[in-house]
Structure 1
């Protein structure tokens, strides 16, 4: 049976626990613990300028993804550094390419870039980006990033930006570029993953509790929904002449509120692996850094060791 990896969201989003989690010492300890426990990747979210209305309705802050991943990368040697997800239209694609190339080079090829279109109109407005064109911008920016990360001089013309013989050097360690995952559950996201990505990064709406209207995506509540989505992905691959499916990196499969039951989770992960999933995320919380790290170590001993 194929290998499956376990990823963990990094706990830097709760500003109410800043003394516990938003310090250099916290980053050092958390990175070290995750790597020792056997996690494959640590991931960070992306909300540079969320609205108060969304935050008050249950949203969350997010620290700058490349700053946090750089700090984690500095205290680890094998843990992969994953954006999860980066809202691609928020930033000029060549700025993203430079950040990815730098981080991948400095950390000896450990970056995974998971991207999506995002869904917060108020955040788009604050950043001066046209929300109505988010899908076209995402496709264009993916093409631009791929060109910019070639390690060679490149040319690319997009809407509002032009590169005529520009260079981003040194290029990333991973070639032809670091893996790009496309986040989202919709058919459009699946098509984008097939056409422009290396992998697909869906999430279980039954675990995240996401409002499907707000997030503007499709519900995936479990194995049956995921199986249907993968079947659609196969159809798209056949249509585009792609011989292999994009890698499937599934978001959190465990609610933080679930009672501790590692055997149940091992069985659950095994079923997703049978569907072709190559990596899953496990969500967990801690009121203190010590509690969070103890839980991470417990995952390593009682869950990750089983794979």
Structure 2
């Protein structure tokens, strides 16, 4: 199982100094990937956790990290696809891939926040068809040459988009979602599945099985399908609700449980720690705490 790290994009440590510092340190310490997430805005009447109150744009943050690193993969888990056209995301993803030398990874979801849907003039339904057509447009544009697509949700006139991505076929596309239909879709048409922060270990294990079974039924090698999990870390006191909680030995043991559940990449995300990703956290203390956790949980530590 590969080990990644959540990029500093939320709250007290979501600022340029910490983003550059932890991107470089994560690469130096051997982490496989650096992962961001998207939260466009919070409705005035919404009750969302502290990690959602102040969030950098994921693709801009990863572009910043790309300029300061050379090897670590750069992923977003996830972008809500109804918020922007597939052509626009194809341009952004291709640009990140070019600027990073072929290190971009894109996770896509269909969203859940009504204020964000209203603010972007978007709707998630029909989720399945929307997602499948979205991936079709991305694939067409990533391939180079003349691309075109005509679907019920999206259309693309015959056109070309350059420069093409560095990675053949474009950045890998992972799909989020927890419903069986979403899991099967990830197994059929995507590079894999990326979990949400709310997924329990049992959900991950079952989801991985559904994804891989769908891949096999679609004629794909299930071992090639990726299962990427956001690991919410609670360093310090043990909390049985969080496999990645407690002392370092307990957190590493929790990571092993994810590997046994079929996960191919786990990224430790500190944005969900209110003492790091909370907007009211002390910035210096947040960075100090994050540095300690990053170092202790580095691959091979």
Please give the TM-score of this superposition, normalised by the length of structure 1.
0.82
1:161, CA displacement in angstroms? Answer: 5.0
Q: Is the 8 A contact 1:89 1:141 kept in 2?
A: no
Partner of 2:253: 267
Partner of 1:63: 56
Partner of 1:94: 87
Equivalents in 2 of 1:244, 1:29: separation in Å? 37
1:119, CA displacement in angstroms? Answer: 0.7
Equivalents in 2 of 1:45, 1:153: separation in Å? 31
Equivalents in 1 of 2:184, 2:92: separation in Å? 26
Equivalents in 2 of 1:165, 1:258: separation in Å? 57
Q: Gapped runs of 5+ residues in structure 1?
A: 206-219
Residues 161-170 or 187-196, more deviating: 161-170
Task: String of CA shifts for 1:241-265, please: whole Å, max 9, x gaps.
Answer: 2222421111114336655511112
Instruction: Output aligned runs, 1:210-249, within 5 Å.
Output: 220-222=199-201, 224-245=202-223, 246-249=225-228
Equivalents in 1 of 2:290, 2:17: separation in Å? 17
Partner of 1:282: 268
Task: String of CA shifts for 1:150-174, please: whole Å, max 9, x gaps.
Answer: 1222111234653333111121111
1:115 aligns with 2:108: yes
Partner of 1:255: 234
Q: Is the 8 A contact 1:181 1:200 kept in 2?
A: yes
Partner of 2:296: 302
Q: Alignment length, in residue pairs?
A: 284
- The 1:131–1:300 alpha-carbon spacing in structure 2 relative to 1, beyond 3 Å, is closer
1:38 aligns with 2:19: no
Equivalents in 1 of 2:236, 2:114: separation in Å? 30
1:124, CA displacement in angstroms? Answer: 0.7
Equivalents in 2 of 1:38, 1:179: separation in Å? 21
- The 1:165–1:132 alpha-carbon spacing in structure 2 relative to 1, beyond 3 Å, is closer
- The 1:204–1:160 alpha-carbon spacing in structure 2 relative to 1, beyond 3 Å, is closer
Equivalents in 2 of 1:281, 1:228: separation in Å? 19
- The 1:274–1:102 alpha-carbon spacing in structure 2 relative to 1, beyond 3 Å, is same
Instruction: Output aligned runs, 1:63-82, within 5 Å.
Output: 63-82=56-75
- The 1:257–1:152 alpha-carbon spacing in structure 2 relative to 1, beyond 3 Å, is farther
- The 1:45–1:258 alpha-carbon spacing in structure 2 relative to 1, beyond 3 Å, is farther
Q: Is the 8 A contact 2:184 2:210 kept in 1?
A: no
Match among 5, 18, 30 for residue 8 of structure 1: 5
Q: Is the 8 A contact 1:33 1:296 kept in 2?
A: no
Match among 155, 166, 176 for residue 162 of structure 1: 155
- The 1:258–1:306 alpha-carbon spacing in structure 2 relative to 1, beyond 3 Å, is farther
Equivalents in 2 of 1:61, 1:166: separation in Å? 37
Please give the TM-score of this superposition, normalised by the length of structure 2.
0.84
Task: String of CA shifts for 1:138-197, please: whole Å, max 9, x gaps.
Answer: 221111111111122211123465333311112111112211111122212211211221
Instruction: Output aligned runs, 1:139-178, within 5 Å.
Output: 139-159=132-152, 161-178=154-171
1:85 aligns with 2:78: yes
Partner of 2:242: none
1:86, CA displacement in angstroms? Answer: 0.4
- The 1:175–1:258 alpha-carbon spacing in structure 2 relative to 1, beyond 3 Å, is farther
